[in-house]
Structure 1
Amino acid sequence: MEPPTDYDRQVSRNTVKSTESRARRMSKSVMHSVSGFLGLEESDKHAMRWENRRKRYAGSIGKLKDEYNRPKEGLDELDGSRFIRDPLRKPSGHVSQSSDFGTMRKCHRKSSVAHMAVKGLGNLVGARNKVRRNTHKGSQGGESAAPSMHAEDQEFNLVDDVFYDDQSKGPNLARLQATESSVGSELLPSAPAPGWRRRPPQALPDTPGTDMVDQPDFGLGRIKEKVLNSAMRRDKRVIGVGIVGRFFRPSIHSAAFTKDVKEQLDDMDDHRPYFTYWATFVQLVVFIVAMAVYGAAPWGIGKSTESKLVRLSNLAREVKSYTEQENIWFGPRQMDLIHLGAKYSPCMRVDINLKYSLELDRAEEKESACCVRNDGSGCVQRVASQCGSLSTWKKWELGNEGPGGRLSGSVCGQDPTYCIKPASAEPFEWADSIVDWPPCTDTRTPNNSVGSKLDRHMSCELLGRPCCYGIQGECMITTREHCDLVRGKFHEEKYLCSQTSCFEQICGMIPFGNKEKPDQFYRLWTSLFLHGGLVHLLVTIVFQMWIMRDTEKLIGAIRMAIIYIGSGVAGNLASCTFLPYQVEAGPSGAQFGVLACLLVEVLQSYQMYRRPHIAILKLAMPILVLFLFGLLPWFDNWAHLFGFIFGFLLAFAVMPYVSFGHFDRRRKIISIVVSLGSAIALFVILTLIFYIAPLTDCEACQYFNCIPLTKDFCENMQVNLKKNSTYSKVY
């Protein structure tokens, strides 16, 4: 029996209602997450958190207005760790604000765990040796060697010795008597006896205007003031400032550090710099692997030439030279960086200049033939001008056609008549042009005598095979010795340069989808983790550990990843557009994007400063100096410029810097739309220029990247692009 229709309708209604409710909840959750990430959430908790971050960063760059230094109403009752002040530190029991700030400014960074562990072990060993020396002196001096304390007392004394390197700084009778006389008998009714024993806890009177707590009743009097300050005050380095902020940190009056500011300084580590650590680790590992596999290029600022006596394809032994660019960074060669994924435009798109040069090489090889030595010592593929009088140039032509009436060829070691795999048969008959022939992997030897002149190109010994060298897809027919000298790739199984994909081998990485069309657009991203050398890597590590790490603690790993990768990719795209033939590696564009974040935060806190133009200049001047360094060789100023622009736009979009409210929320939405729209539009424009209207002959673009102060000053930044055939130029 079927259930009633009303029941089915009710079940259906409940199901739809439940589904709509779940979808609504998911939608609200997504909107809440996106709003919180972009800084659009109207929440007092988030508003207070980011307002405090703005104050911390702004206060480290310049002087704030008085209204931003005063504590807000209701902040006195905020939860958080309060400062514990030792009334014995000063005779009056008060701790001045100036001394607090002085201590705060000195203690910028906590000691690492390793440093504290080593220091603790050292103090422990020193305390043990001190006990042994005291025991030894007592036994030799005629005094009683019996201990003056009980066994458990010695244990406590050893612990106290671990806390103190210098017992003179510990509390002694003279110091406590001076403190007692200055404070008054009502504050310290009796001074403790000298020695290790702790004095009984004393009740402290309620003093108006004094923020004091009861002194701990164990061990506090024996701990050094420096250790006590570090443990109980927990002063930290200002997150988001780093070495630049500390270098330009102004002198701020102690009155500016109110209770509100001090409480917020104690609550800084909101984010862990996971992305900074990950990026630095990957960059370090990639550099170690690159140096271990490829080795280092010659060091210097010019060019290095290597000469060697090698055997050539004409059986002569000659001294050949190979010139390569030196590396000032102590790192890999240009070709090795390309293999690893460095920025190089010809590997990312079809370059019309290189394509034209390679077509000239193919046209010249199409007119080549097998040059057989008359003495039977071997043969090599050559053009007519390179086949000397001691050899015979076996060329197919009218009246002397090859198999099937072919006019292109012959080829040393390969013939469609003798090739078994792949066989030249219908419907896969080989073309007439030899540059379209596939490499033959299985060939039968002709049954001819050594002195026979029939098909000598198949019975002779090959003296040269294709060798891919350089960074522009060059290829030549030569010996293995010569190929090794020019650091090329020797193809033992190939017969013609047209049978090799030299440019694809030079680029490396993932093979092209079409061998004639380079498509490695991902080099914009991979080059961020490569470095030109050891010095380059050290500069990156210092920047990321001192500036980028603090910025990530301020904004979080996700925002930092967006700004870092977005700025780096955009900077590399601009460099590929304006400097297409230069090999570049490193995250310079991404680093300038991080610097743009610092400047954006200052601009958004403009109304908080007493003198905002001074604060802006303090950050703008170092950035301008770095741009001036980009005019020197070995720096990519185009990546610097566009990395900074994209970092500036992305920082406006993803950094929740505003004080939340209805007006600021609307302003934030407008800034997000404008900033992201501008960044996307600029990226699309660069992409269109790069692929549709490439700048392959922009000589003026070089001057923004390097100013030629002398004739050879920018030589390393210039790539001599070949625009003619090189097939028969080198052998």
Structure 2
Amino acid sequence: MAGEDLESRGAKNRGNGYPSSYYSSSYYQDTSEKQWTSWLIPAFVVANVVMFILTMYFNNCPKNITSSQGHCVAGGLRRFSFQPLRENPLFGPSSSTLEKLGALDWNKVVHGHQGWRLISCIWLHAGVIHLLANMFSLLFIGIRLEQQFGFVRIGVIYLVSGFGGSVLSCLFIRSNISVGASGALFGLLGAMLSELISNWTIYSNKAAALLTLVIIIAINLAVGILPHVDNFAHIGGFLTGFLLGFVLLLRPQFGWVDRHNLPANVPSKSKHKTYQYVLWVVSLVLLVVGFTVGLVMLFQGVNAYQRCHWCRYLSCVPTSRWNCGSN
């Protein structure tokens, strides 16, 4: 039935609206360092909005809803109207539409050999509220990062983090579907943290910057323990972005940046510190091992809950107000 209920199908949205911020800490910058023009992040935002419009077009609530389900919300939008709020409170399509268009579904990925869903799901959103929260966060975080590090590195972090979030989510979530870009967004947050750690010696106001960023990340992860929010995608994206930040976002150290001001007879310092090279190697190894183990476990059909029984509390903590349900 086209108007399948979101909660009965168990659709998970990756982030249900959360604040995100960028730390404001000055660093010693070479005057010759290039300042990039941000175009990729706005392009990602446009792609997500266009995909949501197409999703609502294919959803076509007036045609596919039944009388027992209720009435479409904002019926004046016709085929772009939303599913009943009791089915989807985020003002969006049905879970069956999301599933058809590429939502993350363990059974289809593992048994249906549809691995492409590990990427397609990050371009889908459960509703207008979900979309707006993620896109505003993406603009706020991503544009500044792209201006500093360029579209190639930030684009790689965004896409690979989204993929990493999907892999971890699929290892744990079997009875639900999952959509959203917040795994990729958490990857950008993780990369910001590792960039600060890796380039620690060139920053001023280090403690304040670190504390602010850690608080922001903790608040965002805490939101993930609410029901119907896929916190495994958040955690997987964050860990992937955190490791990628050590690999892709290295900055030259101050002693090397300031080499032009040194007398000719004074040897300049190394471009990077030893600890930066160590973090680079360790992070790269962890990324390769993590993705290899995760994908092998996934396509072997391993249920990660059997290996980690307490991990269910990372995504949903039951209270007197809500029940987390199965898996």
| TM-score bucket (shorter structure) | 0.7 to 0.9
Q: Is the 8 A contact 1:305 1:324 kept in 2?
A: no
Residue correspondences, number: 276
Residue of 279, 283, 287 corresponding to 1:675: 283
Residue of structure 1 in register with 2:52 after alignment: 287
Equivalent-residue separation in structure 2 for 1:306 and 1:545 (angstroms): 36
Q: CA RMSD in A?
A: 3.2
Equivalent-residue separation in structure 2 for 1:587 and 1:697 (angstroms): 24
Equivalent-residue separation in structure 1 for 2:154 and 2:34 (angstroms): 15
Residue of structure 2 in register with 1:624 after alignment: 218
Higher relative contact order (CA 8 A, sep 6+): 2
Tell whether 2:300 aligns with 1:706: no
Residue of structure 2 in register with 1:633 after alignment: 227
Deviation at 1:697, TM superposition (A): 6.1
Residue of structure 1 in register with 2:9 after alignment: none
Residue of structure 2 in register with 1:607 after alignment: 201
Deviation at 1:607, TM superposition (A): 2.9
Map of 1:490-501 to 2, 5 A cutoff?
none
Residue of structure 1 in register with 2:15 after alignment: none
Q: Is the 8 A contact 2:58 2:97 kept in 1?
A: no
Equivalent-residue separation in structure 2 for 1:640 and 1:268 (angstroms): 32
Residue of structure 2 in register with 1:552 after alignment: 146
Tell whether 2:133 aligns with 1:539: yes
Residue of structure 1 in register with 2:7 after alignment: none
Tell whether 2:272 aligns with 1:664: yes
712 and 276 in structure 1: CA distance in 2 versus 1, 3 angstrom threshold: same
Deviation at 1:645, TM superposition (A): 0.8
Map of 1:75-86 to 2, 5 A cutoff?
none
Deviation at 1:569, TM superposition (A): 0.3
* Aligned partner letter, 1:630: G
Q: Is the 8 A contact 1:338 1:344 kept in 2?
A: yes
Map of 1:96-495 to 2, 5 A cutoff?
244-245=21-22, 249=24, 264=31, 270-295=35-60, 306=69, 326-350=87-111
Secondary structure, aligned partner of 1:584: strand
Deviations 1:364-403 (A, max 9, x none): xxxxxxxxxxxxxxxxxxxxxxxxxxxxxxxxxxxxxxxx
Secondary structure, aligned partner of 2:142: helix
546 and 305 in structure 1: CA distance in 2 versus 1, 3 angstrom threshold: same
Percent of aligned positions with the same letter in both sequences? 27
Residue of structure 1 in register with 2:239 after alignment: 645
Q: Is the 8 A contact 1:565 1:590 kept in 2?
A: yes
* Aligned partner letter, 1:638: F
Deviation at 1:521, TM superposition (A): 0.5
Deviations 1:630-657 (A, max 9, x none): 1112321111111111101111111131
Deviates most, 608-617 or 663-672: 663-672
Unaligned runs of 5+ in 2: 1-19, 71-83, 257-268
268 and 708 in structure 1: CA distance in 2 versus 1, 3 angstrom threshold: same
Equivalent-residue separation in structure 1 for 2:91 and 2:187 (angstroms): 26
Provide the TM-score with structure 1 as the length reference: 0.35
Deviation at 1:588, TM superposition (A): 1.2
Which structure's residues are more often strand, by fraction? 1
Secondary structure, aligned partner of 1:271: coil
Deviations 1:72-101 (A, max 9, x none): xxxxxxxxxxxxxxxxxxxxxxxxxxxxxx
Equivalent-residue separation in structure 1 for 2:281 and 2:271 (angstroms): 16
Q: Is the 8 A contact 2:229 2:315 kept in 1?
A: yes
Deviation at 1:533, TM superposition (A): 0.7
Equivalent-residue separation in structure 2 for 1:666 and 1:333 (angstroms): 52
* Aligned partner letter, 1:637: N
Which structure's residues are more often helix, by fraction? 2
Equivalent-residue separation in structure 2 for 1:249 and 1:664 (angstroms): 23
Equivalent-residue separation in structure 1 for 2:86 and 2:324 (angstroms): 12
Q: Is the 8 A contact 2:110 2:301 kept in 1?
A: no
The structure having more radius of gyration, on CA atoms, is 1
294 and 611 in structure 1: CA distance in 2 versus 1, 3 angstrom threshold: closer
Equivalent-residue separation in structure 1 for 2:130 and 2:319 (angstroms): 23
275 and 611 in structure 1: CA distance in 2 versus 1, 3 angstrom threshold: closer
Equivalent-residue separation in structure 2 for 1:331 and 1:566 (angstroms): 26
Tell whether 2:296 aligns with 1:691: no
Equivalent-residue separation in structure 2 for 1:343 and 1:642 (angstroms): 14
Secondary structure, aligned partner of 2:69: strand
Q: Is the 8 A contact 2:167 2:295 kept in 1?
A: yes
Provide the TM-score with structure 2 as the length reference: 0.75
* Aligned partner letter, 1:578: F
Secondary structure, aligned partner of 2:89: coil
Equivalent-residue separation in structure 2 for 1:634 and 1:595 (angstroms): 22
Equivalent-residue separation in structure 2 for 1:619 and 1:553 (angstroms): 19
Residue of structure 1 in register with 2:115 after alignment: 521
